[in-house]
């Protein structure tokens, strides 16, 4: 895909984030969509392409009163929205549609109008994982991390620092759920969830949503807010079964999505001013730093523990506070994208000064899928 041909011209989250007991999941989609459309200075009738995940595109299109000529229902977990951005950019460039709305929302905490997630007993997961006591992401996502730690010499304290540093970012963000400072000791003394991970190494469970509007970059000057350009994109999937990953020492999906986006963008790691790595659990930024090629995996724990990703550090990472401290409704990728767009617009609560390139890397399922979007504010 060619660089900077497509722009984000509207971006917004739901009016409220956190606990939203007065809205169903579908209305959270609509709230985010209406906010994004207003942000772009558009009307819903201007939208001719729609993408969403978990909820179907037909559900959201009908609820919003949109008649699309392009539809994407890619639903590969929390990074679905990175894939939607990639697919939408290709569709806009190909002339399949002009103005795409991507929505995410989840009543993850209040569970109002939330679709049930179940594992059929005759699926491969139902036969070869569920009988052994996996029960939700906390029991599955951390399964690879002990192997990763042993292979690369990563310590419990280093992984605890991921949560500590992200809380420092969250403290700067009025919309973050958790803002009080924490220490490594706080993390390592918090309630055990699934050894080796404790409560403060697991993402929040909240309600909320977000939406993006994309269009051709040559129209970008017509919009009221600063446009953010799509410089590079990548995607892949590996397996829905965490037990069947090729290796626990890295993510194959990460290693394809990330480098593909870097190649497409024509940038090196030194060019990256701002980085988002979807942190459903505290080990993900380590896998991301290694698999995206920022450094060898052996150095990832020390890099974070040494403070290079904290406010003032050389590689600002997860500057909204991340899924660990900002919010996590179940599919956090949309909020990572929102923060990258804010950083590129220069309006983030913890703004990285003069940031020109933002890398936004997402995960879906338990390392099942991945999508990477590289944004820039310079065309």
Partner 1 sequence: MAEPARARPKPTPETQHFWDGTQAGELRLQRCDACGNVYFPPRPFCPSCASRKISVFKASGKGKLYSYVINHRPAAPGFTPPYAIAVVELDEGPRMMSNIIDCPQTPEALELDMKLEVAFEKLDDKITLPMFRPAKG
Using the contact rule CB under 8 A, the part of the chain among 71-79, 144-152, 158-166, 366-374 near partner 1 is 144-152
Q: Are 213 and 8 in contact (CB under 8 A)?
A: yes
Asked whether position 108 contacts partner 1 by CB under 8 A, the answer is: no
Instruction: Decide if residue 19 touches partner 1 (CB under 8 A).
Output: no
In the complex, least distance from residue 156 CB atom to partner 1, rounded to whole angstroms = 10
Cβ proximity to partner 1: between 125 and 173 the closer is 125
Q: Is 237 among the residues that bind partner 1 (CB under 8 A)? A: no
106-123: b or e for each residue (b if 16 or more CB lie within 10 Å)?
Answer: bbbbbebebeeeeeeeee
**Residue indicated by tokens 């996502």:** 141
Among 50, 134, 280, 327, which residue sits at the site for partner 1 (rule: CB under 8 A)? 134
Per-residue CA distances from 61 to 32, 34, 84, 116, 226 (Å): 13, 13, 15, 21, 26
Q: Phi then psi for 88, rounded to 5 degrees?
A: -65, -40
Nearer to partner 1, 240 or 316 (CB): 240
Tell me if 130 contacts partner 1 by CB under 8 A.
yes
> End-to-end CA distance of the chain, in Å?
15
Q: Which is nearer to partner 1, 151 or 351 (CB)?
A: 151
> What whole-number distance in Å separates Cα of residue 166 and Cα of residue 279?
10
Q: Closest approach of Cβ 199 to partner 1, in Å?
A: 9
226 in Cβ contact with 346 (< 8 Å):
yes
**Residue owning tokens 């939408």:** 88
Binding marks (x or -) toward partner 1, 175..194, rule CB under 8 A?
----------------xxxx
Sole binder of partner 1 in the list 68, 77, 78, 142 (CB under 8 A): 142
| Binding segment toward partner 1, per CB under 8 A, in 4-12, 43-51, 62-70, 116-124 | 116-124
Non-local CB neighbours of 89 within 8 Å, separated by 6+ positions: 1, 5, 6, 214, 230, 233
In the complex, the smallest distance separating the C-beta of residue 324 from partner 1, rounded to whole angstroms, is 18
133 lies in the site for partner 1, by CB under 8 A: yes
**Residue 90 interacting with partner 1 (CB under 8 A):** no
- Counting contacts by CB under 8 A, is residue 252 touching partner 1? no
Q: How far apart (Å, rounded) are the C-alpha atoms in residues 129 and 251?
A: 19
Cross-strand pairs, 202: 281
| Residues recorded for the chain | 379
Task: Determine, following the binding rule CB under 8 A, whether residue 135 of this chain makes contact with partner 1.
Answer: yes
Binding site for partner 1 (CB under 8 A): 119-122, 124, 126-136, 138-140, 142-147, 150, 191-197, 241-244, 248
């Amino acid at each position: 895909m060619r660089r900077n041909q497509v722009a984000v011209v509207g971006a917004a989250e739901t009016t409220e984030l956190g606990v939203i007991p007065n809205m169903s999941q579908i209305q959270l989609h609509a709230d985010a969509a209406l906010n994004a459309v207003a942000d772009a200075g558009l009307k819903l009738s201007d939208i001719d392409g729609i993408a969403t995940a978990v909820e179907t595109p037909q559900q959201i299109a009908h609820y919003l009163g949109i008649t699309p000529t392009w539809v994407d229902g890619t639903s590969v977990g929390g990074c679905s929205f990175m894939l939607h951005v990639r697919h939408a950019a290709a569709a806009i460039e190909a002339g399949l549609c002009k103005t795409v709305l991507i929505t995410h929302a989840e009543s993850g905490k209040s569970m109002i109008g939330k679709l049930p997630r179940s594992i059929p007993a005759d699926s491969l997961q139902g036969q070869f994982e569920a009988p052994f006591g996996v029960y939700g992401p906390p029991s599955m996502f951390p399964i690879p991390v002990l192997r990763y730690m042993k292979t690369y010499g990563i310590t419990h304290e280093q992984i605890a620092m991921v949560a500590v540093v992200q809380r420092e970012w969250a403290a700067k963000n009025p919309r973050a759920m958790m803002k009080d400072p924490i220490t490594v000791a706080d993390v390592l003394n918090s309630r055990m969830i699934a050894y080796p991970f404790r409560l403060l190494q697991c993402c929040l469970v909240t309600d909320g949503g977000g939406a993006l509007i994309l269009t051709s970059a040559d129209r970008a000057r017509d919009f009221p807010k600063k446009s953010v350009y799509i410089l590079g994109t990548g995607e892949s999937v590996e397996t829905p079964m965490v037990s069947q990953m090729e290796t626990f020492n890295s993510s194959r999906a990460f290693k394809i999505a990330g480098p593909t986006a870097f190649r497409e963008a024509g940038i090196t790691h030194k060019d990256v001013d701002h980085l988002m790595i979807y942190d459903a659990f505290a080990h993900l930024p380590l896998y991301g730093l290694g698999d995206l090629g920022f450094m060898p995996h052996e150095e990832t724990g020390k890099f974070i523990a040494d403070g290079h990703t904290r406010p003032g550090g050389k590689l600002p990472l997860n500057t909204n506070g991340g899924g660990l401290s900002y919010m996590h409704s179940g599919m956090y990728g949309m909020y990572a994208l929102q923060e990258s767009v804010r950083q590129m617009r220069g309006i983030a609560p913890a703004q990285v000064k003069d940031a020109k390139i933002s890398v936004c890397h997402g995960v879906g399922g338990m390392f099942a899928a991945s999508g990477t979007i590289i944004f820039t504010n310079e065309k």
